[in-house]
Structure 1
C-alpha cells in the first residue's frame, strides 16, 4: 500500500516510537543543503503531518551528522537570474514558516553540526529544539548579502532578546549548541552522542500526552509568532529584494570559494 510520504525524495521517514514520525533531511555529500526539491518538500511536509492521524509527535533531523548547511548555492544563483524561480522560492519561504507555526502536531528538532538556512527554520520553530554541544547555528543571510528574513525576524528576538538577535543576525556569528541554550535560543543542549536518543525520548513523551491539550497549548503560545506576521512579511520582502541587489553575487562568490574544497562540518558557509 502506498504511503503519503512515498513521493518525497530529499526527506526520509521512519517511526522510532509509536505515534512518532521522524523526518530526516538528506542531501548526501552536501551537508543536507536545501536544493529546490528539498525546499519544496520542507514546505508541504507539515501539512501532510498535520493531516496524518497516525502522527502524535514528530522529529526533524539531518543525515550523516549534520542538520542542514542552508540553501543550495545553485538554487540561490537561479534566484538571482530568474524572476519565476525567485517568486516561487519567496512563496515557499513564507509558507514554510506559516505551515510550521500552524501544524497542530508537537515537533522536536535534533540539531547537530551546521544548522543553517531553510533547515534552521524547522530547527528553531520546533516546539522543543535540542542542539548538540557541537552544533553550529548560523542564520547566514547577511553573509550572502541579503536581509535576515525567513524565520529570523520573528523568532530570534522572541527567544534570545533583541540585543542578542541583532548581534548574531547582523554579524552572522555562529552560535554553538551550548551558547544557544545559555541565551535561550534552543530548549536544550546535550552531548552529540545523546542527541538522537533524547529527541526520541521527548517526542515519545509528547506522543503519550493529551493531543487536545498539547495542540491548543501550542496554538496559544504560537500566537506570539502570528502576532509578528507583519514583521515577518516585511523581513521576507526585504530579503528577497536583496537577491536582485548588488551584494549577492559577491556573497555567492565568497561562499562558493569557501565551499570549493568540499562540504565539511567545519565549512558549511
Structure 2
C-alpha cells in the first residue's frame, strides 16, 4: 500500500478502489473524497471495465467522515460542501457506470462508510462487520446516498428507525435485513470477493448492465437526491447541535443537544 488515501487498480476487467487511511479507520477527509471521485472516474473510462470492488485497508471498511477535519473547520457548513461534493460526484459516477459494483466490508462501516457500502450493487460482509448509520450521533441528516438506498432496501419505516436510533448492526442482522448479500469468515472475505468479481467479469457485460439499469431504474433521480443530502448536511453543520456533537465526541461524553 502507498500513502495515497485511496488505492486504485485495474486488471482483468475488475477495477479496485481501496480506502487507505487504516490509521484513521479509513475515515473520509477531503483528500479521500477527491481521490475516490477521481478513482471512479478513471476506472469508468476503462473500455474493458466490468466490475468495481470497493474495500477498506486495515480493520475497518470506513468509519464515516473525518470528524477531526470538521472540528478544525472555521466554517463547518462550507466544509461540509467541500467534503461531501466530491464523494457524491464519485457515487453518482458509480451509479451511472455500466460496471457492477461490489462492496467488501470488514469491521466498522459507519456513517458515510455504511452509505458507500449500500451504494454498491452487491455487498459481501466479513463476520466482524459492524454497520451503523451514526449520523444522528453527530447531529447530521445523512449523506452519500444513505437516505436514498436505505428505504429501498429495508422500507421507509425501518429506515427511519435505523437513521433516528442508529443501532449497531452486526453482520448476521445486516444479512437478515437485506443490507448485505452474504456473510463470510473474515479471512475468506478477500477470496470470496475476488471469486465473485471474476464470475461477474466473465459474464455477458451488455446483458448485466441492462439488468442493473432495469433493477435500479429509480436512480434516474439519484444525483438530485445526492445534492439534496449535501444541502441538508451543510445546513446541519451550521447549527449549534453539530458543534456540540463534535465536542462531545472528542471529549468522550454524551452530547447535550438543544431543543431547536
> Counterpart of 1:42?
36
Q: Specify the alignment match of 1:264 in structure 2.
A: none
**Distance in 1, Cα, partners of 2:85 & 2:8:** 25
Q: TM-score, normalised to structure 2's length? A: 0.87
* Offset of residue 63 of structure 1: 0.8
Taking the aligned partners of 1:149 and 1:245, their CA distance within structure 2 comes to 17
- For 1:226 and 1:79, the matched residues in 2 are separated by 34
CA gap 1:194/1:51 in 2 versus in 1, 3 angstroms: same
SS in 2 for 1:29: helix
Structure 2 spans left out of the alignment, 5+ residues = 254-260
* Other-structure match for 1:113: 107
RMSD (Å) for aligned C-alpha atoms:
2.3
Offset, 1:190: 1.6
1:217 to 197, 211, 216: 211
Cα deviation for residue 114 of structure 1 reads 0.4
Over residues 98-134 of structure 1, what are the superposed CA-to-partner deviations in whole Å (9 max), with x where a residue is unaligned? 1221121111110010012333333111111111222
- 1:30-179 equivalences under 5 Å are 30-79=24-73, 81=75, 84-179=78-173
Instruction: Tell me the TM-score normalised to structure 1 length.
Output: 0.85
Partner of 2:83, secondary structure, is helix
User: Relative to 1, partners in 2 of residues 1:235 and 1:21: Cα closer, same or farther, differing over 3 Å?
Assistant: closer
Unaligned runs of 5+ in 1: 1-5, 260-269
